[in-house]
Amino acid sequence: MILTFLYPLLATVVLAQEWQMQSSGLASLTHYNLPTGYVGSCGCEGESSGNYPTAALNQLAFGSAYVYGPGCGRCFNLTLLDSWTSTPPFFPSSHPSVIVKITDLCPGSSPHCQATASKPNEFGYYVHFDLAYPTPAIPTGFFPSNASYYGYTDFGVWNITYTSVECIPNWAGSGNAGAMGRVPALGSSACCPGEPGGNDTCPSYSSSHVLPPNTAGGAPPRLALPYLLAMVSVCLVLLGFS
Ligand SMILES: *[C@@H]1O[C@H](CO)[C@@H](O)[C@H](O)[C@H]1NC(C)=O
Ligand SMILES: *[C@@H]1O[C@H](CO)[C@@H](O)[C@H](O)[C@H]1NC(C)=O
Ligand SMILES: *[C@@H]1O[C@H](CO)[C@@H](O)[C@H](O)[C@H]1NC(C)=O
Ligand SMILES: *[C@@H]1O[C@H](CO)[C@@H](O)[C@H](O)[C@H]1NC(C)=O
C-alpha cells in the first residue's frame, strides 16, 4: 500500500528531472502585479522586486512545484515578438527586450503555466514567463501597442524569444548587493543565488521533499510547511493502518 502510494510521486520526480530547459528558445509571456519589495517564492532579496526587472517562471522550467527550484536567480534576456490574442494579431514594428532575474514561481495551477514534461501549455510552449509589470524598473509603455487601431494597449499574452544570460553584469540589479541573493531571515526556505550555475544552483524543493508537482494550488513559501506536515500525517496514517 505504501509503495502504491509512492510510485506516482517517484515517477513524477524522475520525469521532472529529465526535462531540461533549453538555454534559448520560444516562450509565451504575460505580466503580473508585483508590489515593490515583495519577496517571491525563491526568497530573493526584496530590493530586487520592482526596482529591477524580475519574472516568475512556469513550474516545469522553474523545476519545483513549491518554494524554490533550479530556476531561482537565473537571468534571461526576453525579446517580444508578437501578440496573437487580438483580432487581427498584432505584429509590432519594434521588438523590445528586457533582462530579468527569476524570483518567483508560476505554479502549474496558474493559467499558461501548466506545461508538464510531456505536454506544453495551451500555446504550445514548455516555457512561460510572467513578467513583473508595470514596476518602477519597467514602466508602462514597455509593451508596443497601437491604441488608435485596437482601442486598448494591453494585449495580455505575447510570443517571445528568451536567452539565458549571466546575471553579472547583464541584469540591472547585479551591481546592488541589496538586490542579489536571498533573504537571510528566511533561512533554509529561501534559495536565490546571485549568479546560479555550477554548485550554486538551487535544488528542487518539491523533488527533494518528494512533493507531487501538480496538487492543489501553487503554494507560496508560507504554505509549504503545513503542506509538508499534512503529507507526513498522511504517511503516518497509512503506516498506522497498513
Ligand atoms: C538581448 O536581446 C536583444 C535582442 O536580441 C539584443 O539586442 C541584446 O543585445 C541582448 N542583450 C544581451 C545582454 O544579451
Ligand atoms: C505566436 O503564437 C501563436 C499561438 O501559438 C502562433 O499561432 C504564432 O505563429 C506564434 N508566432 C510566432 C512568431 O511564434
Ligand atoms: C496601427 O494599425 C493600423 C492597421 O494595421 C496601421 O495602419 C497603423 O499604421 C498602425 N499604427 C501604428 C502607430 O503602428
Ligand atoms: C562551489 O562554489 C564556491 C563559490 O563559487 C567555490 O568557492 C567552491 O570552490 C565551489 N566548490 C566546488 C566543489 O566546485
DSSP letters, the chain, are: -HHHHHHHHHHHHHHHHH----SEEEEEEEEE---TT---TT-B-GGGBTTB-EEEEEHHHHT-SBS--TTTT-EEEEEEEEB-SSSSPB--S---EEEEEEEEEE-TTSTT---BTTB--TTS-S-EEEEE-S-SSS-TT-S---HHHHS-S----EEEEEEEE-HHHHSTTTT-GGGSSB-GGGGGG----SS--TT-SPPPHHHHTT--TTSSSPBPHHHHHHHHHHHHHHHHHHHHH-
Q: What is the pLDDT of residue 63?
A: 95
Q: What is the pLDDT of residue 211?
A: 72
Q: Which of 64, 42, 234, 207 is nearest to 132 (CA)?
A: 42
Mean pLDDT confidence for 200-221: 69
- Distance (angstroms) between ligand 1 centre and the Cα of 103 equals 21
CATH code of the domain in which 176 resides:
2.40.40.10
Q: Domain range spanning residue 26?
A: 4-238
CA of 27 to the centre of ligand 2 (A): 10
Quick check: 186 pLDDT over 50? yes
* pLDDT of 189 over the 50 cut: yes
State how many domains the chain has. 1
Most ligand 1 atoms within 8 A of CB, residue of 97, 99, 142, 171 to mutate? 97
Ligand 1 geometric centre to CA of 166 (Å)? 12
Contact by Cβ (8 Å): 70, 210: no
For residues 125 and 231, which has the higher predicted lDDT (pLDDT)?
125
**Contact partners, residue 199, CB within 8 Å, separation at least 6:** none
Q: State the chain's mean pLDDT as an integer.
A: 85
Distance CA(99)–CA(164), nearest Å, equals 9
Q: Which ligand is nearest to the CA of 96?
A: 1
The pLDDT value given to residue 17: 55
Whether the per-residue pLDDT at 215 is higher than 70: the answer is no
pLDDT of residue 213: 58
Most confident of 84-88, 89-93, 206-210: 89-93
Higher per-residue pLDDT: 109 or 6: 109
At residue 32, what is the residue type? Y
pLDDT confidence band for 25 (50 / 70 / 90): very high
Give me the pLDDT at residue 33, please: 94
Query: Residue 92: which of 139, 146, 30 has the closest Cα?
Result: 146
Q: Is 124 in the pocket of ligand 2 (CB under 6 A)?
A: yes
> For position 6, what pLDDT does the model report?
52
> What is the DSSP pairing of strand 24-32 with strand 158-165?
antiparallel
Q: To test the ligand 2 pocket, which listed residue (82, 90, 122) has its Cβ within 8 A of the most ligand atoms? A: 82
Determine the atom of ligand 3 nearest the C-alpha atom of 92: 14
- Residue 139 confidence (pLDDT): 87
